[in-house]
């Protein structure tokens, strides 16, 4: 299941906290996080890596970014 988090307009650490909270839910295997600053993009990406998740893509989306993350770092091995 893919969850979508809209953290646009929020300052750090709120986007990171929202992403981490959603990552803890067992049903989520993929998340899409919307942020609107470079700082939030980089902070969310770092937080994801620290939790053994993988940033599978970052797309510029209008005035911000769409960060797609997936559970498990095993995706890096293949």
Task: List, for residues 1-53, the tens digit of each pLDDT value.
Answer: 789 999 999 999 999 999 999 999 877 789 999 999 999 999 999 999 999 89
Give domain limits for the chain. 2-73
Residue 72 has a pLDDT of 77
Q: What would the pLDDT profile of 54-64 be if each residue is shown by its tens digit?
A: 999 999 988 99
Phi, psi of 12 (to 5 degrees): -65, 140
Residue 73 has a pLDDT of 53
Q: What is the pTM assigned to this prediction? A: 0.86
Domain 2-73 has CATH 3.40.718.10: no
Of 20, 7, 14, nearest to 65 by C-alpha is 7
Q: Which two tokens stand for residue 77?
A: 């091995």
């Amino acid at each position: 299941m893919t969850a979508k988090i809209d953290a646009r307009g929020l300052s750090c650490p709120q986007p990171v906290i929202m992403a981490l909270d959603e990552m803890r839910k067992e049903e989520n295997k993929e998340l899409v996080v919307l942020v609107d600053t470079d700082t939030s993009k980089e902070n969310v990406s770092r937080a994801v890596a620290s939790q053994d998740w993988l940033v599978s893509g970052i797309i510029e989306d209008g005035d911000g970014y769409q960060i797609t993350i997936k559970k498990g770092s095993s995706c890096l091995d293949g």
